[in-house]
Amino acid sequence: MITLNLNGKDHSLDVPEEMPLLWAIRDVAGYSGTKFGCGMGLCGACTVHVDGQATRACITPVGLAVGKKVTTLEALHADPVGQVVQQAWLELGVAQCGYCQGGQIMTATALLKGNPNPDDAQIETAMAGNVCRCGTYNRIRAAIHVAADKLKEGQA
C-alpha cells in the first residue's frame, strides 16, 4: 500500500512501487485525463506535474512520486497559471482530435511557471517532447504566447 498525494488529496493505493505512475493515476485512482500514447517516454501524452515538474507518467514508477505532489489535468483549473493556459487553448481552438492536448497543456503550464515570457526557441525546446499527430504545433506556440501575455497583464 502506498500513499500518493494526487491533485491535493492523499490516496491510499494498493499497488507495487514499480507500477508506472500512469497506471496508478488512471486505472487505480480513476483520473482518466492523463493519456497513454507510446508508453516509452517519447510522446508526452502522459505528462503530469510531479512537484511542479513536467513528468512522463508512463516511465515513472509510482514509488518515485511518493512524498511528492502529483497534479493531473483534472486539477489544473485550480492553478492560476494552468487556468490561463487552458483559457488560451480554448480561445485559439488549439485542439484537433485532442488526444495529445492534456499533455501539451501540462508541459506548457510547467514552462510558463518557470519562464513566464518564453520566446519561440524556448517554447520549441520545452515542447519538443510533446508530439501531436494532428500537427497543431503552430496553434500551441501561439496559445503559449497568448497565455504569457495574459499572465503579464494579470501582473500589471
| Site pattern 80..99 for ligand FES (x: CB under 6 A) | ---------------xxxxx
What part of residues 3-62 is at the interface with ligand FES (CB under 6 A)?
36-39, 41-46, 56, 58
Closest CB to ligand FES among residues 46, 151: 46
Q: Count CB atoms within 10 A of the CB of residue 120.
A: 10
- The window from 24-32, 73-81, 112-120, 133-141 that contacts ligand FES (CB under 6 A) reads 133-141
Closest CB to ligand FES among residues 147, 151: 147
Quote the least distance from Cβ 94 to ligand FES, whole Å: 8
Q: How big is the chain, counted in residues?
A: 156
Query: 34-42: long-range contacts at Cβ-Cβ below 8 A with a sequence spacing of 24 or more?
Result: 34/72, 34/73, 34/102, 34/103, 35/99, 35/100, 35/102, 35/103, 37/99, 37/100, 37/103, 37/131, 42/129, 42/131
